[in-house]
Amino acid sequence: MTDQSKHEQTLDPENWDEFQDLAHKVVDDLVGYLKTVGDRPVWTPLPEEAKELFAEPLPSKGSKESEVYESVKNHILPYPTNNIHPRFWSWVGGTGTPSQLIADMVISAMNSGSLGLDETASTYVELQLLSWLKTLLSYPQDANGLLVSGGSMANLVGLAVARTHAAGYDIRDEGINLNDNARLMFYTSVETHSCIRKAIELLGLGSKSLKLIPINDDYTVNLDLLQNAIDKDRKNGRIPACIIANVGTVNTGAIDPLIKLSEIAKKENIWLHADGAFGAIAKFAQKSHHLVDGLELADSIAFDLHKWMYIQYDCGCVLIRGNHPHKETFSVIPPYIKNFERGLASGPINFSEYGVQLSRSFKALRAWMALKIEGSDKYSAQIEQNIDQAKYLTQLVEAHNDLELLAPTSLNIVNFRYTNPSVKDEQLNDLNTEILMRLHESGNSAPSSALLNGNFSLRVAICNHRSQRSDFDELVRDVTMIGNNLLN
Ligand SMILES: Cc1ncc(COP(=O)(O)O)c(C=O)c1O
């Protein structure tokens, strides 16, 4: 060792043995944390003392790993969103599974940038996972696939390819050029997720290119109005480019009629993109897979693994048919990420040619390990169980005099509210808002909300492998009890 290298620093632990002891302790703590999650409140408000930690200035000098971990254990771990709790049903929160804790340690230790051009095991894990996902969704094996951060990014990628496909000019080179070209039009229902509008705007199309079509009573897109909109745009010289099917709307879980949409898309010669953020996963439900028949006909599918596939955050996926201009939309290969015939950089694919990101975490390992540990049969049964639970809660609501179902239950989302003849219609929104906040404050359960036809709804989205039927009994009991107390 030269004199100089003695003075060179590293960020490795000063004492590896101490570090190893701490790592063992952390694993023990975290396994305990997962095992006992149902014993704790769903939501615990963050005390001021914990917030003080987050007001501390940037530390110029470090602290021991064990001291920093103590801070995490005392001030961070106890105050989670807690989507891992059996009675968490907010937004479209997924639970993850304990086995992925092991995957996360491996991912962190390997710290792979997952470029794909590296000839490494991580590249092949990701390719194999993509192949399994295509199998699970009955999508062609020659489709391209990419793991991304989540549904928003997956939709952005899918719609970018649709844009390339529909533009009759080199849109990458020229950008959106409305002086010389007609406006490209994208169609979806008013129930579509906000990320679709963001994607359209980010793609430079402008939200005027997104036509929101009214819905039927069951919250699915109205096909006649969709056809009218396409016809009208064509007549006015615009270019219908893409229909975006909602495969499980965020508010109610409604599934647009996929086979009919694919017929319209085919007849009109336009792209069919499916936003199946969570609903696509119904494709591998044991019995209910027919609910999403036709998903496999879409030109592109965006879906999340971190929602209803119980994969830890974050992980989304986009699949695009093999003959479509996926690579043409994203590929830029400067010499510094060139592929070689042999050696480290001789991997089979450059994932950056299929999306926005270059470096990505080795998130594929979580889902790969989860599928190997659970097997697809158990997955199919688990997803079916959530659909059954949504039906069960729907029955409880329908059977209760003080509860009212606010939307048909299409999949795994139930919308309802507390009502009582003594309450005027215009007071119901405030009353149910108060019920929701008190539910959260009670720590017993965490639904979220939706506004349906102006009515405030308690919205229960079930992407949770820890929920049991008794949890829904408890929810109904709590909602009616809080409602009754408020009225008295
Ligand atoms: C239907 C739908 N699409 C897209 C998204 C966005 O997904 P992500 O939060 O993973 O970006 C969501 C999120 O809830 C969703 O429900």
Confidence of residue 206 (pLDDT cuts 50, 70, 90): very high
Q: What are phi and psi of 398, to 5 degrees?
A: -65, -30
| Average pLDDT over every residue of 141-158 | 98
Residue 460 in contact with residue 447, Cβ under 8 Å? yes
Residue 261 has pLDDT above 80, yes or no: yes
For 317, the 3-state DSSP assignment is strand
Q: Which of 156, 278, 304 to mutate to test the pocket of ligand 1 (most atoms within 8 A of CB)?
A: 304
Q: Which of 195, 249, 462 to mutate to test the pocket of ligand 1 (most atoms within 8 A of CB)?
A: 195
Contacts by 203-209, CB closer than 8 A, 24 or more apart: 203/156, 203/159, 203/160, 203/163, 203/176, 204/175, 204/176, 205/163, 205/176, 206/176, 208/183, 209/183, 209/184, 209/185, 209/241
Q: How far is the CA of 93 from the centre of ligand 1 (A)?
A: 10
Give the pairing type, strands 300-304 and 88-89.
unpaired
Supply the pLDDT for residue 4. Answer: 64
Q: How far is the CA of 194 from the centre of ligand 1 (A)?
A: 8
Residue 365 has pLDDT above 60, yes or no: yes
For the packed helices 376-399 and 364-374, what is the interaxial angle rounded to 10 degrees? 90
Rounded to the nearest integer, the mean pLDDT of the chain is: 97
Q: How far is the CA of 95 from the centre of ligand 1 (A)?
A: 15
| Average pLDDT over every residue of 453-478 | 98
Burial class (CB in 10 A: 0-12, 13-18, 19+), 474: middle
Nearest CA to ligand 1 atom 16: 250
CA distances 462 to 301, 315, 379, 466, Å, are: 22, 18, 15, 10
Q: Which protein residues touch ligand 1 with a CB less than 6 Å away?
A: 91-92, 150-152, 193, 195, 248, 250, 275, 277-278, 304, 316
| Pick from 248, 115, 139, 118: nearest CA to 192 | 248
Place of tokens 């479209």: 92
Supply the pLDDT for residue 250. Answer: 98
Q: How far is the CA of 283 from the centre of ligand 1 (A)?
A: 17
Q: What is the pLDDT of residues 341-352, one digit of tens each?
A: 999 999 999 999
Counting residues of the chain whose pLDDT is more than 70, the rounded percentage is 99
Nearest CA to ligand 1 atom 2: 277
Nearest CA to ligand 1 atom 8: 151
Supply the pLDDT for residue 173. Answer: 95
Residue 50 has pLDDT above 90, yes or no: no
Q: How far is the CA of 18 from the centre of ligand 1 (A)?
A: 42
Confidence of residue 7 (pLDDT cuts 50, 70, 90): confident
Nearest CA to ligand 1 atom 14: 92
| Average pLDDT over every residue of 450-460 | 98
- Consecutive H or E run containing 212: strand 210-213
| Average pLDDT over every residue of 256-266 | 98
Q: Which of ligand 1's atoms lies nearest the C-alpha of 91?
A: 14
Q: How far is the CA of 276 from the centre of ligand 1 (A)?
A: 8
Q: How far is the CA of 109 from the centre of ligand 1 (A)?
A: 29
- Consecutive H or E run containing 190: none
> What's 237's DSSP letter?
T
| Average pLDDT over every residue of 249-277 | 98
Place of tokens 């969709």: 226
Confidence of residue 167 (pLDDT cuts 50, 70, 90): very high
pTM for the model stands at 0.97
Cα-based angle 161, 165, 171 (whole degrees, multiple of 5): 85
Residue 62 has pLDDT above 80, yes or no: yes
β-sheet with 455-461: strand ranges across: 88-89, 446-452, 455-461, 413-418, 403-405
In sequence order, which ranges of 400-468 are alpha helices (DSSP H)? 428-442
Residue 91 in contact with residue 358, Cβ under 8 Å? no
Q: What is the pLDDT of residues 268-278, one digit of tens each?
A: 999 999 999 99
Cα-based angle 74, 76, 77 (whole degrees, multiple of 5): 80
> Exposure string (b/e) for 308-321, b if CB count within 10 Å is 16 or more?
bbbbbbbbbbbbbb
Q: Which of ligand 1's atoms lies nearest the C-alpha of 276?
A: 1
> What's 137's DSSP letter?
T
Q: Which of ligand 1's atoms lies nearest the C-alpha of 316?
A: 10
Q: How far apart are CA 362 and CA 344, in angstroms?
A: 17
Q: How far is the CA of 178 from the centre of ligand 1 (A)?
A: 30
Residue 1 has pLDDT above 60, yes or no: no
Q: How far is the CA of 152 from the centre of ligand 1 (A)?
A: 6
| Average pLDDT over every residue of 306-311 | 98
Confidence of residue 2 (pLDDT cuts 50, 70, 90): low
Q: How far apart are CA 247 and CA 275, in angstroms?
A: 6
Residue 413 in contact with residue 277, Cβ under 8 Å? no
Q: How far is the CA of 88 from the centre of ligand 1 (A)?
A: 17
Burial class (CB in 10 A: 0-12, 13-18, 19+), 56: exposed
Q: Which of ligand 1's atoms lies nearest the C-alpha of 306?
A: 10
Q: Which of ligand 1's atoms lies nearest the C-alpha of 192?
A: 1
**Contacts of residue 204, Cβ cutoff 8 Å, sequence gap at least 6:** 175, 176
| Average pLDDT over every residue of 106-124 | 97
| Average pLDDT over every residue of 36-48 | 96
Q: How far does CA 435 lie from the centroid of its chain?
A: 27
Residue 5 has pLDDT above 70, yes or no: no
Q: Which of ligand 1's atoms lies nearest the C-alpha of 155?
A: 4
Q: How far does CA 238 lie from the centroid of its chain?
A: 32
Q: How far is the CA of 49 from the centre of ligand 1 (A)?
A: 33
Q: Which of ligand 1's atoms lies nearest the C-alpha of 307?
A: 10
Residue 6 has pLDDT above 90, yes or no: no
Q: What is the pLDDT of residues 414-426, one digit of tens each?
A: 999 999 999 999 9
Peptide bond into 314 cis (omega under 30): yes
Q: How far is the CA of 306 from the centre of ligand 1 (A)?
A: 10
For 459, the 3-state DSSP assignment is strand
Amino acid symbol at 182: A
Cα-based angle 242, 319, 212 (whole degrees, multiple of 5): 30
For the packed helices 151-166 and 194-202, what is the interaxial angle rounded to 10 degrees? 50
Residue 28 has pLDDT above 80, yes or no: yes
CATH 3.30.413.10 fits 105-377, yes or no: no
Q: Which of ligand 1's atoms lies nearest the C-alpha of 247?
A: 1
Q: Which of 156, 192, 275, 306 to mutate to test the pocket of ligand 1 (most atoms within 8 A of CB)?
A: 275
CA distances 149 to 93, 154, 280, 359, Å, are: 15, 8, 17, 12
